[in-house]
Amino acid sequence: MDCLCIANFEGYFVKINPAFVELLGFSETELRSKLISDFIYDEDKKRTASYRSNLKQNKPLINFENRYVTKSGAIIWLHWTAIPVEKDKLVYAIAKDITHKKELENERISHLSKLSEVNEKLKQLNYTTSHDLRSPVNNLISLVDLIDLSKVEDPETLKMLNYIKVSAEGLNDSLNTYVEAFKQKNISNETLDLVNFNAIFNKVSHSISTLIQKSGAQFEIDFSVLENVPFNPAYMESIFLNFITNSIKYARPEVPLIISITSNNLYGKPTFKYSDNGLGFDMEKVGHLIFKLNQRFHGNEDSKGVGLYLVYNHVTSLGGSIHVDSKINHGTTFTISFNS
């Protein structure tokens, strides 16, 4: 059962459902009598405080994970989705116990190190990740539904809540499609669809429109020469999503982010080119590691080192190839040649 709670901007629980009480082992009185931070694992307190400050600025919290200490002393992992209501100085939140999932992730990573099992583990990783992501997305949709929108007087807040719901529903549809695709044991060329680049770009950019808007990213798009390519739609969505979110994550501070996406026919092969003007990296030092699993090049705390690994396997599993060129502080270019 999901843990539901309401907290005030001062950092105290106002209301907690029985599932939360049972999970932490404290009584409701004990939970409400102390600052929420008193129950958080020491190593996560500082990071949690920085994210909580965003809530006070009326920014929703999505896919945040931290550790709590139960009354028995056990350490548990919680996955949070929270929406602030500024006029009431309250935060409505849903938490899910993902301790078991974290343990499984650690085991999975250790198994992935065995080269003989990489391909099979990749399929499981893709499926499990997509499947598990549906839960917090559905939580977000449910959380918005719990709020009585008729009582929200601020037009901007109402617009934001409606926008969050539309975006979450769109993302949920994409995840459902992605999971169904990975239920197939083998995706051969005979099962490919004619994928429209512009349609995929619009779908992905809509699902992360808030992230794009916040980043200020500018897009230069040209699919006029080659509008479609035979490919797996779920794979293509994943490629667009990983490329764009990476560009935003590794944009240069104080430099407007510009992303160029084009398609063409080169040497008889359908070709897709993606470029940005971000941080880039040293090809001589790390070029051979770009598409390896668990590789991180800029020290971002939220980087998992999985995105480009997935992109590479999406492309090569269907007979294509991918090339990367990058220079520090000059951005990165990915060129994908599809199997014609």
- Higher-pLDDT residue of 296, 62: 62
Residue 116 banded pLDDT, cuts 50, 70, 90: low
pLDDT given at position 112: 64
The mean pLDDT value of the chain amounts to: 84
Instruction: Annotate 145-181 with DSSP letters as a single string.
Output: HHS-GGG---HHHHHHHHHHHHHHHHHHHHHHHHHHH
pLDDT at 247: 94
pLDDT(122) > 70: no
CA atoms within 13 A on the CB side of 13: 23
DSSP secondary structure of 73-137: S-EEEEEEEEEEEGGGTEEEEEEEE-HHHHHHHHHHHHHHTSGGGHHHHHHHHHHHHHHHHHHHH
Q: pLDDT: is 13 or 118 the higher one?
A: 13
DSSP-based three-state secondary structure for 257? coil
pLDDT band for 231, please (50, 70, 90 cuts).
very high
Over residues 114-124, mean pLDDT: 58
Tens-digit pLDDT profile for residues 67-112: 999 999 999 999 999 999 999 999 999 999 999 998 888 787 776 6
Give the pTM.
0.51
In angstroms, rounded to a whole number, what is the distance separating the alpha carbons of residues 148 and 152? 7
Are 157 and 148 spatial neighbours (Cβ–Cβ below 8 Å)?
Answer: no
pLDDT of residue 145: 75
Residue 233, pLDDT > 60, answer yes
Q: Does position 301 have pLDDT exceeding 50, yes or no?
A: no
Query: Distance of CA 13 to CAs 20, 36, 248, 282, Å?
Result: 11, 7, 34, 47
Domain 3-166: give its CATH code: 3.30.450.20
CA-based nearest residue to 82, from 73, 94, 67, 98: 94
| HEC sequence for 47-60 | HHHHHHHHHHCCCC
pLDDT tier, 118 (very low <50, low <70, confident <90, very high otherwise): low
Q: Would you state the pLDDT for residue 148? A: 76
Q: So where are the chain's domains?
A: 3-166, 188-337
**Per-residue confidence band for 117, with pLDDT thresholds at 50, 70 and 90:** low
Q: What angle do CA 184, 319, 205 make, to 5 degrees?
A: 70
Residue range 220-241: mean pLDDT, rounded? 94
Q: Under a CB-based contact definition with an 8 Å cutoff, are residues 249 and 303 in contact?
A: yes
CA atoms within 13 A on the CB side of 123: 12
The b/e string for 285-316 (b: 16+ C-beta within 10 A; e otherwise) is eeeeebbebeeebeeeeebeebbbbbbbbbbe
59 class by beta-carbon count within 10 Å (0-12 exposed, 13-18 middle, 19+ buried): middle
Residue 18 has pLDDT above 90, yes or no: yes
Q: For residue 141, which phi and psi values (nearest 5 degrees)? A: -60, -45
Percent of the chain with pLDDT over 90: 51
Report which of 203, 193, 219 is spatially closest to residue 171, judged by C-alpha positions.
203
Matching CATH number, 188-337, of 3.30.565.10, 1.10.30.50, 3.30.70.20, 3.30.465.10: 3.30.565.10
Tens-place pLDDT, residues 52-61:
899 999 999 9
What span, in angstroms and rounded, lies between the C-alpha atoms of 230 and 182?
A: 18
Instruction: List, in order, residues 6 or more apart from 73 with CB less than 8 Å away.
Output: none
Tell me the per-residue pLDDT of 166-206, one tens digit each, with 9 for 90 and over.
Answer: 777 776 776 666 666 555 545 555 468 999 999 999 999 98
| Higher local confidence (pLDDT), 257 or 127 | 257
Measured CA to CA, the distance from residue 36 to residue 86 in angstroms comes to 19
What is the predicted pLDDT for the residue at 190? 47
Contact criterion met (CB below 8 Å) for 127 and 179: yes
Q: By C-alpha distance, which of 7, 3, 48 is closest to 23?
A: 3
